[in-house]
Amino acid sequence: MLYLRNLIYHPTACPTPILKALNLELAPQRLGLIIGPSGSGKSTLLEILSGLADPTSGAVCWREQELIAEQLQQLAGLVFQFPERHFCGGTILEELRLGHPELGSERVKQALSEVGLEHLSLSAAPHALSGGQQRRLALAVQLIRQPNLLLLDEPTAGLDWSMRRQLVNLLAKLKQDWTLLVVTHDAGDLLAIADCCWTLNHGELKSIDPRTLEAKVKEPLPAV
Ligand SMILES: Nc1ncnc2c1ncn2[C@@H]1O[C@H](COP(=O)(O)OP(=O)(O)OP(=O)(O)O)[C@@H](O)[C@H]1O
Ligand SMILES: [Mg+2]
């Protein structure tokens, strides 16, 4: 279980806090979805949850234990927005083993099969894959470390309709085994697979029922 308790992020150079006393609870094997416009603080929150930045005050807890940045780096796996831009392995195998040369072929196979890429050659170049396959590989790069919490920043950005559909289906499957927190400015079809949902506006987080939001999105446009 992930808990945020009154989490504040307020760099001294900023006149107002970027994240304002956030409280959140996310149970294991659930998909939490945070929806917020550009500049609302989504990526900043994921940086804190993945141990890349320290909050100004408040706590991030896993089960009942408060975690510091080094522990969060172990606990969480962050998939950046447009993760394919950060690939640096020459082959799929190299990409999966970056920083973990000790990982055996079983773990490599398992990670690829979790994201439906088991049929690919390990010697293929990551950049030669399709856009959808690259996103899947980026997920496998995190899953191979077996993090307790998978954090995804705009996972469907830039994908066409069919690749987007496939990725949403994959995330629905992954939440059977993992705990996922997804941030996006465009919830779209992610709403259907979200177990809990929040909106983030100017650093303020509010809980909202994903089903209510889904119904609203599907409402017919008023006649003009
Ligand atoms: N260390 C920092 N110092 C000053 N301002 C910062 C810092 N980190 C982030 N910001 C500002 O905080 C706000 C939130 O940024 P963030 O990147 O988290 O938004 P976002 O919701 O991810 O936006 P987008 O949808 O465009 O990716 C922005 O106005 C950004 O300029
Ligand atoms: Mg962002």
Evaluate: CB of 184 within 6 angstroms of ligand 1: no
Evaluate: CB of 20 within 6 angstroms of ligand 1: no
Quick one: average pLDDT of 104-121? 95
Nearest residue to 24 via CA among 138, 145, 149: 149
Q: How confident is the model at residue 213 (pLDDT cuts 50, 70, 90)?
A: confident
Q: What angle do CA 171, 174, 179 make, to 5 degrees?
A: 100
Q: Which atom of ligand 1 is nearest to the CA of 18?
A: 12
Evaluate: CB of 38 within 6 angstroms of ligand 1: yes
Quick one: average pLDDT of 66-95? 96
What does pLDDT average to over the chain? Answer: 95
Q: How confident is the model at residue 99 (pLDDT cuts 50, 70, 90)?
A: confident
Q: How confident is the model at residue 216 (pLDDT cuts 50, 70, 90)?
A: confident
Q: Which atom of ligand 1 is nearest to the CA of 46?
A: 18
pLDDT of 120 strictly over 70 = yes
For residue 149, count other CB atoms closer than 10 A to its CB.
Answer: 21
- The answer to whether 17 touches 45, Cβ cutoff 8 Å, is no
pLDDT at 217: 76
Amino acid symbol at 76: A
For a mutational test of ligand 1's pocket, the pick from 10, 43, 183, i.e. the residue with the most ligand atoms closer than 8 A to its C-beta, is 43
Evaluate: CB of 68 within 6 angstroms of ligand 1: no
The whole-model pTM stands at: 0.94
Q: What is the pLDDT of residues 8-44, one digit of tens each?
A: 999 999 999 999 999 999 999 999 999 999 999 999 9
pLDDT at 110: 96
pLDDT at 125: 97
pLDDT at 112: 97
Domain boundaries of the chain, sorted by first residue: 29-52+68-218
pLDDT at 151: 98
Q: What is the pLDDT of residues 42-65, one digit of tens each?
A: 999 999 999 999 999 999 999 989
- Say which CATH class 29-52+68-218 falls into: alpha beta
Pick the residue whose CA is nearest to atom 5 on ligand 1. Answer: 14
pLDDT at 170: 96
pLDDT at 122: 96
Evaluate: CB of 36 within 6 angstroms of ligand 1: yes
Distance between CA atoms of residues 155 and 84, nearest Å: 11
Rounding to the nearest 10 degrees, give the CA dihedral for residues 96, 101, 107, 112.
10
pLDDT at 177: 92
Evaluate: CB of 41 within 6 angstroms of ligand 1: yes
pLDDT of 224 strictly over 80 = no
CA of 116 to the centre of ligand 2 (A): 27
Evaluate: CB of 179 within 6 angstroms of ligand 1: no
**Low-confidence winner among 106-115, 169-178, 192-201, 214-223 (lowest mean pLDDT):** 214-223
